[in-house]
A and B are shown apart, each in its own frame.
Chain A
């Protein structure tokens, strides 16, 4: 296994996986506890519209995708705040329209046919040195912002009304959080693909939430789990020559089902206990 490390693309892939795991562990925790997984999915898919725009108009890929995605994300956030009871429908519409727009714009782009699959599952093995630097920069920014506003985000996520009474600027923070989701999605979409982004954002935080006594620990556990899933996935995909993004997702899904199974066993044992006590 270690002989693989001599290849630069493998080392880059591992580093990209580590950054993705850390960023998704942090942002994913806030996504899961605020129950905005659907919103995060919507942002990730609608980002495809931005990719289409970039190719059609021959604009800078990153600048165009990032601004489009942040625009859509903030629109979704505004809908969440103002029309809460219908927000899921509107987000579903934006989700689909963004994706369709991306596909059509790429159809209309002369002489260029992008492989949709590479955006769905990414191509972590082709991460370049410059991609990596960009990821590290944006990752550091996300860690700084999240830690600076940690107490406020905690209050906002747990009890927004009380947070508001304490003078926490809840609307600003809500938009900031959703902006950070958009940033993470764009930063990771070419590397790990939008499906893997959603998997990294949701599966590990979900497992971590059950065992963590505090939000801080939940972030810590989700980052650890993400690193575990990503590295094991990378190793499996290298060893058995499988599609990397999909392998990482299947490893995460394996972790997810093991954790569910663990719950069932624990539940079963608790139910058995009084019976075995009686037998004594």
Chain B
């Protein structure tokens, strides 16, 4: 049997006594391309932060490559949900992406030639190389999101977490980004939080519905049946409902 990349066992998590995640069990194997869907406040971002080790588990276990998240954090690429943090900060796109190559306690040692090549590749993959000297506040929302994806790729991760990576991106850009992810997925495991269920459906391999509890649905692609299964999740159908209606309209034609 293949060894899992991520193993979550009986995980419970509460914020200020408000229960966010309940009895979560999830096992993810290498080269998975998993979509996390569910309502706002359903615990998607919390679940990701627990897997990243940014939040501490209170009850239960989260293992990445069989180890505690903190020990393997350098193998993880992360695109945060809110790319508007610190928009006024004086930093160029290039410097943001270089953060992906940061090795702590290096002191006066500068980034190596190899680091710069990796950063250039990441920026080029996302079509952001020409904007490398722009200040981050001069970018549009979509461009900023690409810069953050480039930063996650610069890590050269084995697992990639993306929290709503296409929220500000136009349709063409969404397709580009997901094609890129699909390509990357040949060698790495990807977890993506997204509300754009329909855009996702042709790229992902499995879906996890997150609403306090987590329901895992393995499937090669999202079929009608799969959608039906998704609706059976104990989820207020915000995320599910809209694509559902879109789908029905198309079917009626």
A151 and B102 contacting across the interface, CB-CB below 8 Å: yes
> Do most interface residues of chain B lie in helix, strand or loop, or is the interface mixed?
loop
Give the residue among A148, A151, A152, A155 with the most B Cβ atoms within 10 A.
A151
Stretch at the interface among A70-78, A107-115, A126-134, A158-166: A158-166
> Do most interface residues of chain A lie in helix, strand or loop, or is the interface mixed?
helix
B90 and A162 contacting across the interface, CB-CB below 8 Å: no
Q: A151 and B80 in contact (CB under 8 A), knowing A33-B90, A158-B96?
A: no
A147 within 8 A of B: yes
Residue of A nearest to B99 (CB): A155
- Beta-carbon contacts under 8 Å, A201-242 to B: 209, 212-215, 217-218
A252 within 8 A of B: no
A157 within 8 A of B: yes
Q: Tell me the complex Cα distance, A169–B76, Å.
A: 17
Stretch at the interface among B2-10, B81-89, B166-174: B81-89
- Beta-carbon contacts under 8 Å, B54-108 to A: 54, 73-74, 76, 78, 80, 85-86, 88-92, 95-96, 99-100, 102-108
A167 within 8 A of B: yes
B88 CB to nearest A CB, Å: 7
B83 CB to nearest A CB, Å: 10
A15 within 8 A of B: no
A138 within 8 A of B: no
Q: Tell me the complex Cα distance, A167–B73, Å.
A: 7
The interface on chain B, measured as residues whose beta carbon lies within 8 A of the other chain's beta carbons, has a size of: 30
Q: A159 and B99 in contact (CB under 8 A), knowing A151-B106, A164-B54, A166-B74?
A: yes
A158 and B91 contacting across the interface, CB-CB below 8 Å: yes
Q: Collect the chain B residues with CB atoms within 8 Å of residue A212's CB.
A: 90
Interface size class, chain A: 20 to 34
Q: Tell me the complex Cα distance, A167–B104, Å.
A: 6
B133 within 8 A of A: yes
User: Closest 3 CB pairs between A and B?
Assistant: A166-B102, A212-B90, A168-B104
User: Given A164-B54, A168-B104, A214-B91, list of 5 further CB < 8 A pairs?
Assistant: A147-B108, A166-B100, A167-B74, A169-B105, A213-B133
Task: Report 22 cross-chain contacts, Cβ distance below 8 Å, ordered by A residue.
Answer: A148-B108, A149-B107, A151-B106, A154-B95, A155-B102, A158-B86, A158-B91, A158-B96, A161-B54, A161-B80, A162-B99, A162-B151, A163-B102, A164-B73, A165-B76, A165-B78, A166-B104, A169-B105, A209-B88, A213-B133, A214-B95, A217-B90
